[in-house]
């Protein structure tokens, strides 16, 4: 018996990719082929797009990952794309992605270099969004406190005991990563469902989405000033800023004022924890006092996503655990980036499902 296939061939994109120094600062062309195996018999009969997977959506997904992530190896990019495609729709039984790198740094004359990764649904890790069984980073793993005994010999290794961690995968506990091997960790991260060590600065700049909120003082001026603080921060480049949203408070005391919310996309080389510290510094600069959970605040800065990392550390969970249910985050994000995805689902669609969808009003543009 045969099987049905959707093929997307020769998608032309460019990316910063490669292990050589010059490849880590300059974009080069890539061509990507994707093959999706799924039952197309219903679509063949109904002639309805809803009965198949849109190749345009697959192309958008690939483009987003190629522009948002940085990889050293084309193997890692192909693996990440294959996993993301399988995650994007449960009807896809298997996927294969080929990444061609026609300007690979070879001294010989050549036509092309490429890698192909084939994966079936059973071979990919479970989504961290559904259930985070692995891999995760935490002081506590399955009830057991894991001490950091490896004593990383790096300058930034002065961490308190609550920040000790180890990395656990289905194959069992891995030894602590050698922190000098950034490219290798990048590769491992892609293979292991974008697990990311929250203390490890990115080997390459990565995209992160931040959510800002304010409902005390001059909220509009506060948000503008927070965006400026991000623009001025070292190792951060602001890529995109959403229109402002006026939103009804979700949770917290009844009588608090409406919020102004905004979403910002940045590119950064900071580690996830360094970015969290920066978010807290910016909150503090705006007289943030942490009193009541979900209570009024001059400024709140949350990390919604960090590349496509899954982080479950004592003081940082990424993606932000509530973001996928908050229209006050999702709607401004979708205005800024209409094809944005969160945990494999369109942000626009998640926004429509959020309970506070009708309580968000766009104020600009
Ligand atoms: N992705 C994240 N972004 C920001 N803070 C986070 C994240 N994950 C965990 N935290 C932790 O949450 C703590 C409380 O954050 P905060 O005071 O902003 O909570 P809140 O705004 O009242 O509620 P919420 O977290 O639901 O937005 C922070 O000190 C931080 O360590
Ligand atoms: N509308 C709205 N509601 C909230 C917000 C917010 O930014 N906007 N932030 C919260 C905690 O971070 C809790 N509730």
pLDDT band for 254, please (50, 70, 90 cuts): confident
Residues 296-315 have pLDDT tens digits of 789 999 999 988 788 888 99
Residues 206-228 have pLDDT tens digits of 889 999 999 999 999 999 999 99
Mean pLDDT of 168-190: 29
* Higher-confidence position of 357 and 160: 357
User: With contact defined as beta carbons under 8 Å apart, do 188 and 125 qualify?
Assistant: no
Nearest ligand, CA 289? 1
Domains and CATH numbers, the chain: 5-123 (3.30.1130.10), 136-191 (no CATH), 206-362 (3.30.70.560)
User: With contact defined as beta carbons under 8 Å apart, do 35 and 85 qualify?
Assistant: no
- CA-based nearest residue to 284, from 275, 296, 297: 297
- The answer to whether the CB of 256 is under 6 A from ligand 1 is no
User: With contact defined as beta carbons under 8 Å apart, do 156 and 190 qualify?
Assistant: no
Q: Report ipTM for this prediction.
A: 0.95
- CA-based nearest residue to 63, from 96, 24, 34, 89: 34
User: With contact defined as beta carbons under 8 Å apart, do 82 and 92 qualify?
Assistant: no
For residue 347, count other CB atoms closer than 10 A to its CB.
26
Nearest ligand, CA 304? 1
Distance CA 233, CA 148 (A): 30
User: With contact defined as beta carbons under 8 Å apart, do 138 and 312 qualify?
Assistant: yes
- Give the pTM: 0.60
Interval between CA 302 and ligand 1 midpoint (Å): 6
Identify whether 101 is a catalytic site residue: yes
Interval between CA 79 and ligand 2 midpoint (Å): 36
For residue 165, count other CB atoms closer than 10 A to its CB.
23
Distance CA 292, CA 300 (A): 12
Torsions phi, psi for 265 (to 5 deg): -105, 130
Collapsed DSSP state (helix, strand, coil) of residue 227: helix
Looking from the CA of residue 320, the nearest atom of ligand 1 is 1
Q: What is the CA radius of gyration of the chain?
A: 21
């Amino acid at each position: 018996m045969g099987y049905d296939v959707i093929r997307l061939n020769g998608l032309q994109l460019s990316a910063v990719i490669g292990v050589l120094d010059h490849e880590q600062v300059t974009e080069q062309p890539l061509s990507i082929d994707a093959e999706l195996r799924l039952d197309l018999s219903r679509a063949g009969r109904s002639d309805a797009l809803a009965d198949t997977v849109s190749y345009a959506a697959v192309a958008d997904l690939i483009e987003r990952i190629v522009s948002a992530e940085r990889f050293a190896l084309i193997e890692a990019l192909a693996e990440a794309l294959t996993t993301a495609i399988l995650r994007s729709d449960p009807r896809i039984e298997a996927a294969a992605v080929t990444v061609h790198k026609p300007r690979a740094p070879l001294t010989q004359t050549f036509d092309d270099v490429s890698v192909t990764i084939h994966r079936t649904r059973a071979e990919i890790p479970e989504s961290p969004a559904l259930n985070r069984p692995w891999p995760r980073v935490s002081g506590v793993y399955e009830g057991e406190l894991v001490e950091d005994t490896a004593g990383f010999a790096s300058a930034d290794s002065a961490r308190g005991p609550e920040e000790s961690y180890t990395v656990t995968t289905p194959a069992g506990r891995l030894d602590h990563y050698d922190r000098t091997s950034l490219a290798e960790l990048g590769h491992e991260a892609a293979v292991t469902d974008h697990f990311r060590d929250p203390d490890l600065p990115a080997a390459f700049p990565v995209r992160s989405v931040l959510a800002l909120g304010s409902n005390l003082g001059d909220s509009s001026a506060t948000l503008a000033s927070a965006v400026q603080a991000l623009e001025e921060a070292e190792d951060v480049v602001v890529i995109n800023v959403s229109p402002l949203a006026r939103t009804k408070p979700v949770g917290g005391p009844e009588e608090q004022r409406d919020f102004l919310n905004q979403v910002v996309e940045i590119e950064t080389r900071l580690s996830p924890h360094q970015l969290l510290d920066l978010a807290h510094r910016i909150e503090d600069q705006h007289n943030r006092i942490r009193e009541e959970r979900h209570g009024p605040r001059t400024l709140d800065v949350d990390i919604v996503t960090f590349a496509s990392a899954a982080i479950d550390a004592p003081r940082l969970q990424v993606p932000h655990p509530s973001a996928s249910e908050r229209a006050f985050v999702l709607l401004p994000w979708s205005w800024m980036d209409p094809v944005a995805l969160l945990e494999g689902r369109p942000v626009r669609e998640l926004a429509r499902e959020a309970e506070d969808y009708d309580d968000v009003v766009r104020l600009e543009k």
